[in-house]
Every structure is written in C-alpha cells, then in structure tokens.
Chains A and B, each alone.
Chain A
C-alpha cells in the first residue's frame, strides 16, 4: 500500500504498549514542537503585517461579523484569507518558497502567468495625408538662450541613424522567463499584445477629438510602448511571442485623422536604450525614458527640448515595482532594486493638486514628493504624488497664457514635468479618475492651446482604456 508505515510487531503486554507509546511520542516531539512554535508565532497578532510593499496593496483585513456572512460561509472563508494573507513573517515565508520553487526547473527558465492571445498587426496603411504646418508651441525660455530656434517648421521626422544597441543582450545562460511577464536576468518586461478592434477604436476616437477641437486646439497623441519594445531586440521579442509595437504604433497612427499629431517615441527610446530609460522591476518607464519621449514630442511640436542637464536630479533608491511582484518576488530582482530618478524642472514652476476637476488650482505641493520613507513599491509616486484626478503646473516664467491639457495614465506622470518648459499652464488629468469629466466640459472649463493624450499601449489597446477615452471624448456634459 502507499506509504505503509507499520514496522513494529504487535505489542503483547501493557508494558510493551507503554514503552512503544513513550517512544512513539518521543519521536513525534520535533513535529509537535515545530507545529506549536509556528502556531505561537502565527498568533502574535502585532507581528502580522497589514500592508504588502511588494504587492502595493493592503493585506486582507479581519472580516466584520454579520449573521448573513456567518450562514453563507463567507465569514469563515474571509478569516481563512486573513489568516493566510497576513501570516507572521509573510515576506520571509514567501521568499523561502520562491527559493524552493527555483529548484523546480532549469534555472534559465521561468514562467509568470499566461501569455495573452494577440491579433496579428495588419500591414500599415501607407502615406497618411500630409500634416498641416504647425505653429510652434511656446519656445522654452531656458532653451532659447542656448539654442537657436528652428527656422523651418518640422514636417518630416529625421531618418534615424542605425543606433548602437544598448538594450538586453540575451546569452544562452541568462535567466529567461515567459508568460504575461518576460524576465531576462534581473529585469522584467511585458509580453506585448495587440487587439485590433481596440486599436481601431482608439484611433477613431483621436480623430473624433480632433474634429471637436478643430480650429481651437491641436491634438497630440503619444502612445507609450512597453519597456520591452525599447529594451529587447525585435527577433528576441518575436521569439518570446511578443507583438512588435513598432508595427502596432505604425498601424494605429496610420488610422488616425491627419489633424492628430501622433508622436512615436520608439526611435528615440531605442536610440538611448543604453541609458536608464526603463525600470527593471516595474512596468513604467523612468523619467529618463519619458524625457526621450518628450524629445520626440518636441520634434513633432516644432520646439526645442530643454536639455535634461538643466533639470535638478533627485533620486530615490530601493524601488521594487509591479514586475517584481508579478515575477513572484523573484530574488534576482529583489537583490537588485531600481532607483527612481526624478527631475525638477528649471524656472519658477509650481504644482497644484486638486481632487476635483475644476478651474480652481487646488492646493500647492512640492514639485516632487519625498519618497525617502516610502515603501519599496511606492517610490514612483514621487511624480505628481501618484495618480491624481487633476494636477496643474504653472510656470511663472512664461506669461503668454499658453496652456496644454494632458490626458494621461501613470506613464504620463514623469513626462508632464518637461511640458512645463513650454506652457504657462499644464493641466494634467488622469483619464482613470475623471469619469465625471468630458472633453466638452474641459473645453468650457479650461483654456488650452494643445491637448495631449499620453497613454500606454496597454490602455490604448485595452477595452477598458478605450472605453475611458470614449467616455471622455463622446460624453456631452
């Protein structure tokens, strides 16, 4: 029989039985002692964690009692969830389990989650209609002194020279994982996907926005690629089942109304992928990555970018982002956390936060939030103090009343700081927190010359993201 364990002969006398019982109990002491010790530790309630830094969430709370939950069984299930989720020394247990799971297979390979199903990217519709000549946005005062303004309006992006590759070089023995998250060494990336129906709808919505704002404001669209696109070679991405986002952006932009100025940040990002443009443990780009997207925007907007060296650098080390958790708190990443670098814009720039989207500025805060005491997973919140409904930047060095309205997801957080050098007012609305808002209401509330959509491909191509944009653009009040 399975694991049959009987070995002793059947005892015959009472003394035999007592002797065997004593020996048996003696042998079981390590088990009972361990169980008792862990039980005591588990019930030291003050030691139980309430928040997981790595997972960026509050852990399950002890459930509130009610007769209904008692009888439907959910009360006890919730206690189980609380007991397990807040187990004493949780992170150490999880770390030990991860170390053990490392023995499950060959160390070069790991899988996290299921890869999503993707559509094939259609061949790009060639030659979009020529864009109108642009009236340049306000030139940056700081840049104006050092750089001669461009005389000719920018109509065609420069042909990028073959850049020196600075992204991932994947060797035979490197740790490579696949799933929703692709892990290469101590860095993780998303498996990029494409859903054509959502992409088409998003492109159409941008056209709708341009139509509504025709003659009033210029619409810019900046779709932020996943870090994968800038950091992993195309042949490797194809091998891992990624969709090439270069093709996705080319397709999506080719479908847009010519009145929309589409900003493709990929060439700039790839050209600088030897710099710290992407976090290794988080899905966001770094402020440096955002800067190169800003450079791409400047080219399209016909303005000179302010060199990054003119910004004051602030750093928050010890950042472990979303991919660290998605990769089951992988030790390769855990031992080598990211650093969040942030850049304070030059000039007399002020930042105001408002929980309501109104014409009021709201309360003034420091341009960057202090993250020295923040959790390992929370340091990206230095930008705008995390995702807020409305943030307003005012640059008192610019007095022409120029304004830009930015509709963004969290990718836009480090990006918007650079816009302060070109507009007196930068209104930043988070598309996920402004469901009471519409484009029409914005048009009535704010005066703005330009409107810029800054969304990750994940939002621009997901049903939820597109629905939010749809809601914003098509709502009538």
Chain B
C-alpha cells in the first residue's frame, strides 16, 4: 500500500485514526499502531512481513545480548554487534543484492532469480542496525519487549520510505510519553501538502519526463532496445534537457512528499520525526546538496559508517601513505578511501546495480573535486553560478540514474548536445512544454521556500488581529488541506500513473 492510494486515504487511514483515537493508554495506542503497521506492510508484501518480524526479532535479541553482557568484556559485546551486522547485512545482501552479485559469476541460480525486493528493506534494516549499534555504544537502552522493537521497525509512517529514524530519537515519544502539544492540524496540513506534492506535482513532472525520455517500463523492455534508442536519439536537444530537469524535480517531489506525509501522520499522533529535506535544490555545491537531501540517510552514513571508517581502516590507509610518501598524500588517501567507500555504499543503497555504484562514484568525484578545488572558487563567484553548477550535476546524474543501460545513457548524452543529428527544438517538444508551462513554473517555485515565506509573512501580518488570524487559520487549516485532499483524490480516481520512485529502495 502506498500513502497516495485511495485505499489508504479512504479505508486504511480513517480506520487507523479512529482506532487510535479510541485507544486511551499509550500501550493501547502502540498496540493499535503495531497492528495497523503490520497490516499496512502485509498489504503490499504479505510474505515479507515475516522477514520484517524476523529481523526485528534478531535485533531485539542481539541488543539484549549486548546489554546483558558485562561492559568490561568488550569482545563479547562487539561479537553481538558483528553478529547483528552479519545478519542484517546478510539478509539485505541476499534479498536486495543477491541477483547483482550472483550475476558477476554468471547466470544467478533460480532461487536467487525468483527473489523480489522486500518493500522498504533498506529503510528498516538501517533503522534496526542503528538500534543495535546505539545500544552497543551506550547511547540507548536495550528494549526489553520484542513488540516494541517490532513497532519501531514496522511503524507504517516511515517503514517503507523513511525518514530513517534512529531509535534513540523516537524512543521517548514512542514508549515513554507522547507529547500532546496539539499539532494535529499541522499534521493534517503537512500530510495534505505531501499528498498533493506527490499526486499533483510529482506525477505531472513524471508524466512529462516519460513523454520526453520514455517511461521506465518502456526502457526496461529489452526487446525494444533499438527502437528506444532510436526514439531517444531523435528527441530534440531541448526536449532531453527539459526531460532530465523535470525528472530531477520529480524525484524531489516524489521523495520529499513521502517524508511530508510521514511527518504529517506522526504529528497527528504526537510523534515528531526528523526532517528529511531542506530545499536541496537551493544548494550551490554537491556537498551542500547532500547535506540538504535525504538528510536522515546522510546522518546515518555519517554516524555509522563515516566515523568508524575514518577512525579505523581509513586511518591505517593514512598512516601507510604518510609513511611511504608524505603527510599530505596520507591525508588525501584517507579522504579518498573513506569517500569511495561511503559513496559506493550510498549508490548501492539506492539500487542494486552497478550503474548505481557508478552514480555514487560520480557524486564522490565531484565532492572530492570540490574539496580540493571548486569550493574556493564557488564561494567567490556569485551564487547563481553555484546553482547552475549543481543543476548541471543533477541533470547528468539523472542520465546515469534513470537509464540503466549505458547505450541509452550514451544516446541521451549525445542528443543533449545535438550530436545525434536531432533538432534543437521540434513541434512535439514545444507542444509538450506549452502544455505543461504553468505547472512547470509552479514546480520551479515549489522547490524553493518562497511559498512558505509568503505564508509566514502573512501570518506575521495577521498576528495581533483576531479577524485576520482567524482568516489565516481557516485558510491554512481548512481551505488549503481540504482543497488539496479533494484535488488529490480527483487526480487519483481512475489514475493509472501513480508510481512511487523510492519504493524500490
């Protein structure tokens, strides 16, 4: 089930909210949440609900093992963490990367071929791993109750598409005291905003991108390879650039919409989830972009991979090269080693294919170049150059990300510079652009905080005037969310085009 489905909006969510409201105690509310979360997961992946429950069971046990082991016996405690890593990474390795790694050695065996990717496995595996590691580090107590760990991992708000929440962040609100500051209306607003972002903006961008660059299903049809290459090669230069730009915008709306809806539903129930996006397309460099994009993933890699790497294997690399060459070389090699590992993992997290590794290394390359050269220049230049530079990076990264087959990527890359003999602009592209002109302009505004700033300014102006405050309240919590909900519903009825891009992770 996805949040942007009518079944969720008009069957699952109303039932869930009603049942939740009827539960009085925190325990009852949590049992309600767990039952609905498992039902939500089972709706999409009935067989893999057992995998989710099994992984939660392992990690609950490993964390208890750590806590029950004497703090002085570091090796024994470490063994539990290593065990947790082996089990969690082993399972994600099998279910997500099995085919990819097995294909290195030829055709994968049938049982691996038949494995389908369990929904949200990348998200809940990282959450569960962070739980065990936090317990190991003494940053969180081990949870005594298995169903509590299961609830943390399976909570339907964020189980299948994030944000990736650390156990210690959520523990208090989830199991000790749920803050009742009364942010229900803000939750409703945020949920509707996310829903409309997905159903109206992301889907409109997606449909346009598919028209210009071919849809994912068309691209994945190997029998159509040559026909697809012919189509892409014939697409106009502007069509390819706009298609890629729109695809860039689509990904942001799609993913941030899911986070908005998760955060919104959390607020309705008094749960505060961390923000996952901070207007990433306002960034002026690759580094800044990744500090604003999917922030909970970045934080996870920083806390659980970057630090341990820097202080462990990367330090050895640094010492080796310092000893053999110079201190500067040692430092560079340490950074290079860490970055390559982290960005390869980031690429792999996004998808089980070598093109995703390439995509990760692409970002790694520019981060390194920025650290060594660009950053100083970018800081000195007017901001607009930084924005253009980032947009170019994003557009070219989409070429790698969107087209799995390198033949497609090359056809598109050539076409972007008119090297396929394709026209700069053709009737089809100009028609499509005119057709979507206003929604594209709106999308360009919506990736910036402009609308939010205007709303804040209006709230500020209304402040102290009872009538104006009431009008703003009615607008913000009545007209806008209700309008967005109804518009989204209309768009969803009978719509076949409704994919969630981040589902595959």
Say yes or no: is A126 at the interface (Cβ < 8 Å to chain B).
no
* Residue B222 lies at the interface, judged by CB distance under 8 Å to chain A: no
Q: Mark A1-34, 1 if CB is under 8 A from B, else 0.
A: 1111111101100000100111111011011101
Contacts of A177 on B, CB cut-off 8 Å? Answer: 431, 435
**A80 to B2 alpha-carbon distance, docked (Å):** 10
Given contacts A76-B46, A84-B7, contact A90 B494 (CB under 8 A): yes
Contact B435 A117 (CB under 8 A): no
**CB-based contact A73/B490 at 8 Å:** no
Contacts of B9 in A (CB 8 A): 35, 38
Query: Would A25 and B427 be within 8 Å (CB), given that A2-B256, A84-B5, A106-B434 are in contact?
Result: no
B10 A28 Cβ-Cβ under 8 A: no
Instruction: Looking at the assembled complex, report how far the CB atom of B156 sits from the nearest CB atom of chain A, in whole angstroms.
Output: 14
- A20 with B181: CB separation less than 8 A: yes
- Most A CB within 10 A of own CB, among B6, B43, B428, B435: B435
Interface residues of B in 400-438 (CB under 8 A from A): 427-428, 431-438
Does chain B have a CB within 8 A of A100?
yes
Q: A3-B260, A106-B437, A178-B431 are in contact. Are A114 and B211 (CB under 8 A)?
A: yes
Pick the residue among A2, A42, A83, A87 that contacts B279 (CB under 8 A). A2
Q: Is A110 an interface residue (CB 8 A)?
A: yes
**A65 within 8 A of partner (CB):** no
- Does A134 reach chain B (CB closer than 8 Å)? no
Is there an interface contact between B10 and A35, defined as CB atoms closer than 8 Å?
Answer: yes
Q: CB-nearest residue of chain B relative to A24?
A: B182
**Segment of B121-129, B183-191, B300-308, B333-341 engaged in the interface with chain A:** B183-191
Most chain A beta-carbon neighbours within 10 Å: one of B7, B11, B449, B452: B7
- Asked if B428 contacts A30 (CB within 8 A), the reply is no
Q: Are A27 and B185 in contact (CB under 8 A)?
A: yes
Residue of A nearest to B452 (CB): A3
CB pair A109–B494 under 8 Å, yes or no, is: no
Which residue of chain A has its CB nearest to the CB of B6? A84
A239 interfacial by beta-carbon distance below 8 Å:
yes
Interchain CA distance A24-B453 in the complex, whole Å: 22
A43–B452 CA distance with the chains assembled, in angstroms: 36
Does B184 lie within 8 Å of A24, measured CB to CB? yes
The answer to whether A71 touches B435 (Cβ under 8 A) is no
With A3-B193, A31-B481: A93-B435 Cβ-Cβ less than 8 Å: no
A4 to B459, CA, bound (A): 14
Interface hits, B444-499 → A, CB 8 Å: 449, 452, 459, 473, 477-479, 481-482, 485-487, 489-495
Question: Are the C-beta atoms of B427 and A240 separated by less than 8 Å?
Answer: yes
**A positions within 8 Å CB-CB of B:** 1-8, 10-11, 17, 20-25, 27-28, 30-32, 34-36, 38-39, 42-43, 70-73, 76, 79-80, 83-85, 87, 90, 93-94, 96-97, 100, 103-106, 108-111, 114-115, 117, 176-179, 239-241
| Top-10 shortest CB links A-B | A24-B182, A27-B185, A20-B182, A93-B493, A21-B182, A109-B434, A1-B275, A31-B188, A97-B490, A30-B478
Given contacts A93-B489, A241-B427, 11 further A-B contacts (CB under 8 A): A2-B277, A24-B184, A35-B14, A39-B11, A42-B11, A76-B43, A80-B1, A84-B7, A87-B493, A96-B487, A104-B439
